[in-house]
Structure 1
Amino acid sequence: MPELGDCPNMKLQTRLFVLIVSVVFLTVSLVVATQAYRSREAALQSAEELAQSLTKQYARQTENKLGNAMQATNALASVLAAMKATNTTSRKSVDQMLRNVLEQNPAFTAVWSLWEPNRFDGLDAQYANPSKEDKTGAYMPVWARDAENRILYDETFVYSQEITEDYYKLPKQTKKSAVMEPYAGSVNHKEVLMTSFVAPIVVNGVFEGVIGVDMSLGDLQVMNNSLSIYQTGTGMILTEKGTVVSAKEADLLGKNVGDSKLSYAGLLKVAAEKGTDGRSIDGDTYLTYAPIQLGEEGKGWTYAVSVPLHEVTAESDKTLMLTLVTGGAGLLLICILIMGITRSIVRVVARLAEHATQVAEGDFTHSIEPAVLSRRDELGVLARSFARIAENMNRMIGQISHGAMEAAGTAEQLRLDAGETKAASEQISQSVSQIAQGSDEQAASAEESAKALQQMAEQIGMVADTAASVLGASQEMSRRAADGLTVVGDAMVQVEQIMKTIEAGTEQVASVVNVLHSDSTEIRDILQLISHVSAQTNLLSLNAAIEAARSGEAGRGFAVVADEIRKLAGQSQYATDQIQTIMGNIQNNTSMTLSVMESGKADVESVKELIHNVSQVFFSLEAAIGETERQIEQLSLLSANMTANAEEVTAGIEEMATIARESTGQVNNAAHSAQQQLVAMNSVVQSVMNVSELSQELKRLVSSFKVKA
């Protein structure tokens, strides 16, 4: 699941607003929750301290009210035990003592004593009276108050040999004082709860009887009703068995709290059974309780205070509500402030994004507003950086556009020059081919001359053998010499024509090669300029890509444009390097062609000179033949010289043939070089065409950008 800050489909302003408001809301909520928790805990702590204090206070007050009766009961038990131990018991004196105690304690409703049969003074039989309710004569005095609060001796109690009631059985069994479970009674014509405080009369470890004090619990109800804690907090007095001694709800008095409909009855039941200090929470009720120590037997009674939790936390709830209202108002104000801030930020970011889109589309004619550029924050820095990038790109693209136009013009001129150079190279190749053909013909003529001279030598040899055929041979030799002279003359004419053609072709080739060399030098300079522009373009596109990367998401589109420009610059650089390599080869080939042409020209001069020498030889031969005809007589003497001269002429002819063959090889080399030059020129033309196409493509790409004038 993506985080909120990574939602690509959410607007930036909405994303910032939701993110910041979420953080603020969580912070405010945490503060409010902490404040509410601390306020609630403080309220609970205060309620606990107050409730525990009141619980202990009213528990002690209850002990004080009931403790007097318990103390009186224990004191009477001690006095009666002492009288029994000293055998000073007197029914009259004890009656008076019990009456006095009742008179002196208005809270007591009765004071009474029950003894084991014949154990008080051993006179039960003496006091037996059949006319009374109790015919046994057992001592069981009961002094009580009547409805008019008069103290009377109650003679209605009937003694039984086996009393099973707790007020007698419990102290007899435990030999400890105790407080009986409350029971209903009437005081001043009012139904009230009452209880009995009983204590055993023990002499030397022997149970003798029970002394008891009855007491109304109405004062406890009055005391308990005076308890005030919060709005509806109440106190309750419970016996160990859970009987309600005092409570705000009058219908609970004398009933077991476990049978009530109170929501926290279970807590009260447990508290009564524990008989210790403690506190509990059940739903909306906070309960504290403390023990009421009375008699020796049992855990005593319990005083409990219950408080509704909503009353305890009422103030903290009000504080929480006030905090929520204040926090909500503050949060609303913060939201409005955040919305204004984010709107201000996003407005600038949106303008920069719009400008980035225009730049990414190649439109550099728009500018960022001065208000955005003049900002002093990070957005202003970003805007100014973006403006500098756009300005640099605008300037760079303008330079590239200008360079592309110049490169296109230069490439077109190169294409035209290369076409002319190619035509000249083809003409040179044709001329060299013609020279090669003429050299072949020259070699063939030289071979024919060599054959003719060989035949002449043979005939001169035959002159030595037969003088008869000298004249005929001389005539034949003269004819053949004339033919040879004619051939040599023709060869001379052809060689001179070839020489003129070679000289003209060489000069033309030299002129074209020089022009080509000059053009290739200019092309190299232009290519160096294009290479420099490509390098600058590559550097600027790299800087633009770096600036776009710093701009993050906003500069991504611009980075793509910069990368495309860098690729075009790299392609231009690569094509320029290829053209420079080809132009270097062309310059080397043109230099070699010039050298070969100069060498061929020198060789042709040598051939011309040799043919001229052969012509002179033939002229000499013709003169010699004429001399032979005129001096036939000296034929025999001159035959040997003629043979020698024929051999020399043959050697010269062979040498001329050799030179002609060498000239043919050199001319063939020149033709091969011309063919290589033609191939190189075709490569140059193709490269120039490629440069022209690249220039047109660069011009087309640059024209897609809209730049400022």
Structure 2
Amino acid sequence: MKKTWSSLLESLQHAGKTLLAKLASRSTPSGSGGAGGTAGLANTGEGLQVNPLKSVGVKLFAIFFFCIVFFVLIVGLISYAKSKDVIQTKVADATEQTAIQAGQKLDLIYSTYEDLSMQIMLNEDLRKLVTELRTTEANTYNYMDLSRQITDKLNVYAFANKNIKSIHLLSEKGAGVGSSSNAAGGGSAAEQPWFKQIVEAGGQAVWLETSEKGYSQENVISSGASPSFALGRVLKSMTTNQITGVLLIEIKVEVIGDQMKQIDMGDGGSTIVISSSGNYVYNADQALLAKPNTLNLDKSALDKESGQLKTKDGQNQLVFYKSKINGWHLVGLMPVNELVKDAKVIFDITVAMAFGAMLIAIVIGYLLARMIGRPLIQLRNLMKEGEQGNLRVRMAVKGQDEIGQLSVSFNEMMEKITQLVQQTNVSAQEVLGTAGELSEASKKTAMSAKDIAVATEEIATGASSLAVESERGNELTHSIGMQMQSVVSANVIMGTAAGEVQTSSKQGITYMNELIGKTNETESMTRSMVEKVDNLKESTRSIVKILDVLGNISKQTNILSLNATIEAARAGAAGKGFMVVADEIRKLADQSRQSIAIVGQITEKIQNEIEETVQVLSKAYPIFQEQIASVKEADTIFKQVDAQMGGFIERLSEVTESISQLETSQLVLNESMTNVSAVAEESSATSQEVASLSTEQLSISNGLVRLSDKLEELSNSLKQSLSKFQV
């Protein structure tokens, strides 16, 4: 058995390692792709190193594989141990009934010999001969003739029963009076313990345990050297109640052996009879007769009328019956190993089922790992690519379960983020172009301011030239105003788009919260289902207890029917009708026992199926926990997107504020140019005032150039931030 279990464990270990290595090689990411079809993590210049033993697929396979194999082995071993106990108990019960029946048959035989001794005692002719012999002088012809007549009477009883070895009649002093074995006597048996025991009984039947060479004493009785047990009784005078003789009936041990041969205790079993003092009355090995028993039992263990027990070393099962006639014990000895040898078939089936469960667990665990682990690994790789800036990744949707819904949500999220980045990229390009134009216009304005300064120095040469330049300045400021309006409109569009993205991310967070709530409800329902199945299991246990009670009732009914059969047999012809009724009761008891056994098997099968249901639900519970963790992780991603979009909106607000300041400066420039036109008309009179205004104009133009450069830097920064996204 140890070799079988070691080979089984080695096979399980080898199969587990092989499948784990295979799943680990499959779980290592070599690239990713979806509906959009991307190059994978290798294109980003960074590989994702993952410990295969920490993969979800490998963990699912390992848990499923080892749980199934472990529980199959546990159930098989428990079934094997339970079947051994049941078989041992049932066989012992059946053997106990056989022993009781054999013991009752022996009691009938013992009763027959007691009745025979009573007949001899009450034989009037024999009593007269004994009385006459007591008054006759010994060693006379009359004495010898009376002794011969007594022997003839005893021979009649001895020859009528072939199992009687001899019948002896002794005087109250132990001298031989007559014997059916033609024994010669001249000595006395008065000093023998058995003779004293018979005399002290005062007329009650006394059963003497087996003597190795019989109860024939040297010079008293000589009936052979074969072993025998005996029955003794005192003969008394009907008038004086004095002892007139001692009757000793020697019985062959074979009379017990014939009954013992009818009891089959299986291979290695035996049946023996033990006296109340613990010596062998009967044993198949005649060398042990009249010797103390070797059963290694306490004397108090056999005090009951019948029962079953084990030896102290636990190697043998005993069933016994205590005779109601002489107190001797009929003991059936059965080796425990022989009782439970039929249970080895269950052990072999358990080993075969363990191998079958191992193969099934490998296949189902592998499919389960592929069904759950691989989509999660693919989704993880796609998210990693999205983190690196590749927004073109998409997850292929292959089912309608939670993983399929998660894939759909991921694709929709990536689609919206892609649209947001595309729109932001377009807006950034427009802002960059507008900033370039504004910078160019600002530079031109600065150059014009310088020209105005030069013109103010030459204002005396002609106001007409200054008027033309002032008109040109008005046109430039008007163009700047138009461009500023365009920048403001583009900034408003960008703000609106950013708000929409933020709203979508918040809606995604709401959806994820609903998904978490539904997953928690599913978990609660699973837990409730486990509790209900546990309650059902308790109900089946109650049914098993009821079946045990019914089995005990059937067993008691069977015992009562056997007792009724025995009593009917004793009653003879008058009890034949009662014997038929008892036989029908016994048949009904057997049918009830078979029906109870079938119901017990069905109940045990239901209980095993309930156990398997609890195991499957217990395995599904950790999967729900992992699903909740994945959903919470996706919820965290949505919240990060929402936070980043909030920062982006703040930066757009800063750009809007800068553009507002630039628009204010443009209005100041426009007002200044109007003043320049007015001054040009009065240039000849107010040249100093025009020079002062030209200096102020130059300062404002330089400020405008700085603002244009700052706007261009912000546009370049926004462009660089968006350049890492691939759309």
Normalising by structure 1, we get a TM-score of: 0.61
Alpha carbons of structure 1 residues 111 and 673: separation in structure 2 relative to 1, 3 Å: farther
Q: 1:302 aligns with which of 306, 321, 329?
A: 329
Pairwise CA distance, 1:234: 1.9
Cα RMSD for the two superposed structures: 5.4
Structure 2 Cα separation of the partners of residues 268 and 222 of structure 1: 28
Give the structure 2 partner of residue 403 of structure 1: 427
Give the drift of 1:47. 0.2
Q: Offset at 1:216?
A: 2.0
Structure-2 residue corresponding to 1:362: 389
Question: Aligned equivalents of 2:437 and 2:223: distance in 1?
Answer: 141
Q: Which amino acid aligns with 2:649?
A: Q
Secondary structure at the aligned position of 1:215 is classed as strand
Q: 1:672 to 1:42 in 2, by over 3 A?
A: farther
Matches within 5 A, 1:431-446: none
2:723 corresponds to which residue?
A: 700
Larger Rg: 1
- 8 Å contact 2:389–2:724 — kept in the other structure? no
What is the CA distance between 1:239 and its match in structure 2? 0.9
- CA shift for structure 1 position 305: 1.1
> Pairwise mapping of residues 236-247 of structure 1 onto structure 2 (< 5 A)?
236-247=272-283
* 1:257 maps to 2:288: no
5 Å-filtered alignment, 1:210-229, equals: 210-229=246-265
Q: Which residue of 2 aligns with 1:129?
A: none
- Name the CA distance, whole Å, in 1 between partners of 2:276 and 2:328: 5
CA distance in 2 between partners of 1:288 and 1:228 (Å): 13
SS of alignment partner, residue 231 of structure 2: strand
Partner of 2:655: 579
Where does structure 1 lack aligned partners over 5 or more consecutive residues? 117-137, 146-150, 259-264, 436-493, 612-662
Contact (CA 8 Å) 1:244, 1:257: kept in 2 or not? Answer: yes
1:14 match: secondary structure? helix
CA contact (8 A) 2:280 2:290 kept: yes
Decide which of 197, 204, 207 is 2:231's aligned counterpart.
197
Contact 2:158/2:165, CA 8 A, preserved across alignment: yes
CA contact (8 A) 1:55 1:304 kept: yes
What pairs with 1:295-444 in structure 2 (closer than 5 Å)? 295=326, 300-326=327-353, 328-329=355-356, 331-333=358-360, 335-336=362-363, 338-340=365-367, 342-343=369-370, 346=373, 350-363=377-390, 373=397, 380-420=404-444
1:280 aligns to what SS in structure 2? Answer: strand
Q: CA deviation at 1:220?
A: 1.4
User: Which residue of structure 1 aligns with residue 186 of structure 2?
Assistant: 156
Q: Is the 8 A contact 2:169 2:178 kept in 1?
A: no
After TM superposition, the structure 1 = structure 2 runs for residues 468-487 of structure 1, keeping only pairs within 5 Å, are none
Instruction: Give the superposition deviation at 1:321.
Output: 1.5
Determine if contact 2:424/2:494 at 8 Å carries over to the other structure: no
> In structure 2, what is the Cα distance between the partners aligned to 1:682 and 1:574?
24
1:557 CA drift (Å): 9.9
1:688 alignment partner in structure 2: 711
Kindly state the Cα deviation for residue 20 of structure 1 after the two structures are TM-superposed. 2.1
Q: For this pair of structures, how many residues does the alignment match?
A: 543
Identify the match of residue 494 of structure 2 among 520, 530, 545: 530
Instruction: Measure how far apart 1:292 and its partner are.
Output: 1.4
Residue of structure 1 in register with 2:577 after alignment:
none
Which secondary structure state, in structure 2, belongs to the residue aligned with residue 321 of structure 1? helix
From the superposition, tell whether residues 139 and 281 of structure 1 become closer, same or farther in structure 2 (CA, over 3 Å): closer
Q: C-alpha displacement at 1:672, in angstroms?
A: 12
Instruction: Please give the alpha-carbon distance, in whole angstroms, between the structure 2 residues aligned to 1:424 and 1:49.
Output: 124
Distance 2:249 2:495 in 1: 127
Percent identity of paired positions between Structure 1 and Structure 2: 12
Do the aligned partners of residues 216 and 555 (structure 1) sit closer, same or farther apart at CA in structure 2, a change above 3 Å counting? closer
Give the whole-Å Cα distance in 2 for the aligned partners of 1:40 and 1:205: 65
Distance in 2 separating the partners of 1:216 and 1:678: 146
Counterpart of 1:156, as a letter, is: G
Deviation of the 1:562 alpha carbon:
7.3
1:168-207 Cα shifts (integer Å, max 9, x gaps) = 1465178754322321126999753222223356789988
Q: Deviations over 1:576-608 (max 9, x none)?
A: 212222333444465567679979999999999
Q: Deviations over 1:250-296 (max 9, x none)?
A: 433222113xxxxxx22385545x2531211343422111111224x
Matched, 1:287 2:318: yes
Distance of 2:447 and 2:494 partners within structure 1: 27
Letter in 2 for 1:698: S
The alignment partner of 1:109 has SS state of strand
Query: CA separation in 2, counterparts of 1:417 and 1:329?
Result: 85
- 1:213 aligned counterpart, secondary structure: strand
Following superposition, the deviation at residue 303 of structure 1 comes to 0.7
Query: Does the Cα contact within 8 Å between 1:412 and 1:692 map onto a contact in 2?
Result: no
Counterpart Cα distance in 2 of 1:90 and 1:184 = 32
Q: Is the 8 A contact 2:234 2:247 kept in 1?
A: yes
- Residue 213 (structure 2) pairs with residue 178 (structure 1): no
Return the alpha-carbon distance in structure 1 between the equivalents of residues 489 and 714 of structure 2. Answer: 14
1:671, distance to aligned residue in structure 2 (A): 10
Secondary structure in structure 2 of the residue aligned to 1:16: helix
* One-letter amino acid matched to 1:401: N
* Equivalent of 1:63 in 107, 118, 132: 107
Alignment-mate amino acid for residue 296 of structure 2: G
Task: Give CA deviations for 1:663-689 in whole Å, capped at 9, x if unaligned.
Answer: 99x999x99997996797477346414
Q: Which amino acid aligns with 2:316?
A: T
**1:11-160 paired onto structure 2 within 5 Å:** 11-33=55-77, 35-74=79-118, 91=134, 92=146, 95=150, 98=154, 100-113=156-169, 116=172, 138=173, 140-145=175-180, 151-152=181-182, 154-158=184-188
Cα displacement string for residues 333-375 of structure 1 (whole angstroms, at most 9, x for unaligned residues)? 453354356446655555555544444443455666xxx6455
How far apart are 1:228 and its partner, in Å? 1.6
2:168–2:176: 8 Å Cα contact kept in structure 1? yes
Does the CA-based 8 Å contact 1:400-1:537 persist in structure 2? no
Please give the secondary structure, in 1, of the residue aligned with 2:229.
strand
Change (3 A) 1:190 1:29: farther
The alpha-carbon deviation at position 55 of structure 1 amounts to 0.7
Tell me: CA distance 1:676–1:59, structure 2 relative to 1, closer, same or farther (3 Å).
farther
- Bigger mean CA deviation after superposition, 345-354 or 303-312: 345-354
Deviation of the 1:10 alpha carbon? 4.1
Q: 1:461 corresponds to which residue?
A: none
CA contact (8 A) 2:307 2:320 kept: yes
Q: Which amino acid aligns with 1:67?
A: S
Distance (whole Å) between structure 2 residues aligned to residue 506 and residue 573 of structure 1: 40
Structure 2 contact 265–271 (Cα < 8 Å) conserved: no
Give a deviation string over 1:88-114, Cα, whole Å, max 9, x none: 776459946555443444433333455
1:408/1:695 contact within 8 Å kept: no
Q: Is the 8 A contact 2:197 2:206 kept in 1?
A: no
Cα separation, 2, equivalents of 1:410 and 1:191: 138
**Amino acid in structure 2 at the alignment position of 1:281:** K
Distance 2:323 2:349 in 1: 43
SS at match of 1:192: coil
Q: In structure 2, what is the Cα distance between the partners aligned to 1:677 and 1:307?
A: 120
TM-score, structure 2 length as denominator? 0.60
